[in-house]
Amino acid sequence: MASRAAIFDLDGTLVDSGALHHRSWRRLCAELGRPLMTDAEFKACFGHANATIVPELLGRAPVDDEVVRCSERKEAIYRELAGRELTLFPGARELLLDLRAAGWGIAIGSSTPRSNLDFLVPHLGLDELVQVTVGMEDVARHKPFPDVFAECARRLGAAPARSLVFEDAPAGVAAGLAAGMTVVALLTHHPASSLTGAVTYVQGLWEVSAADCARWLGSEECHVCL
């Protein structure tokens, strides 16, 4: 049981994966003979579940198991790229170590498929730092619904009011707030104006310490760290 939980989104929060995901979608588009996903289209869908993205990519309602097949192919491309190129954001490992030393429970709550989590967590050397991972298949509803973060807290044994969420996307911030948690927003891909409701806004995890997290969890003050 954890008295305090730190729950991290994965893509755009712990890992610098945006460009790799975009390349993966574009390769899938090419294989399907569809128009390549633009920068604007990718930015709009980043952080959403594949079940939402694939129909938009196809330009029609999927038939049979098209969503599953397209999703699995896209993620296989992504893991191929990630195995060679993916890196943690600066400060991520240091913050996780600091939180573990301070007795926090740590989870990753993501819209990414379980196959990605099972590959990336050990690949990035996070398996000894992260106690719980919750992915796409583990919940019925995805961000902006609260399910993924609520499940993380449940598995850690932490109350929502004692849980701090780290997110970079509007849907993720909304999910954390809907779960009754305090949210720290990273300005990785979106401006603060589109991440409303966060307790604080930071440029990167290198700015954050376990002491900061303890203060924010008990604070209602919203400020911007620039």
**Of 51 and 1, the one with more pLDDT:** 51
Final residue belonging to a domain, choices 85, 101, 129: 85
Structural domain count, the chain: 2
**Structural domain for 81, as ranges:** 18-85
Read off the pLDDT of residues 151-186 as tens digits, 9 standing for 90 and up.
Answer: 999 999 999 999 999 999 999 999 999 999 999 999
What value does the mean pLDDT of the chain take?
92
With a cut of 60, say whether residue 194 has pLDDT above it: yes
Read off the pLDDT of residues 103-155 as tens digits, 9 standing for 90 and up.
Answer: 999 999 998 889 999 999 999 999 999 999 999 999 999 999 999 999 999 99
Final residue belonging to a domain, choices 30, 62, 85: 85
Q: Are residues 198 and 141 in the same domain?
A: yes
With a cut of 90, say whether residue 97 has pLDDT above it: yes
Q: Are residues 210 and 133 in the same domain?
A: yes
pLDDT of residue 208: 98
Q: Are residues 31 and 61 in the same domain?
A: yes
pLDDT of residue 219: 53
CATH at residue 29: 1.10.150.240
CATH at residue 150: 3.40.50.1000
pLDDT of residue 44: 84
Final residue belonging to a domain, choices 69, 85, 101: 85
pLDDT of residue 7: 98
pLDDT band at 197 (very low <50, low <70, confident <90, very high): very high
User: What's the pTM?
Assistant: 0.87
Encode the chain in three state secondary structure: CCCCEEEECCECCCECCHHHHHHHHHHHHHHHCCCCCCHHHHHHHCCCCHHHHHHHHHCCCCCCCHHHHHHHHHHHHHHHHHHHHCCECCCHHHHHHHHHHCCCEEEEECCCCHHHHHHHHHHCCCCCCCCEEECHHHCCCCCCCCHHHHHHHHHHCCCHHHEEEEECCHHHHHHHHHCCCEEEEECCCCCHHHCCCCCEEECCHHHCCHHHHHHHHCCCCCEECC
pLDDT band at 51 (very low <50, low <70, confident <90, very high): confident
Q: Are residues 9 and 36 in the same domain?
A: no
With a cut of 50, say whether residue 224 has pLDDT above it: no
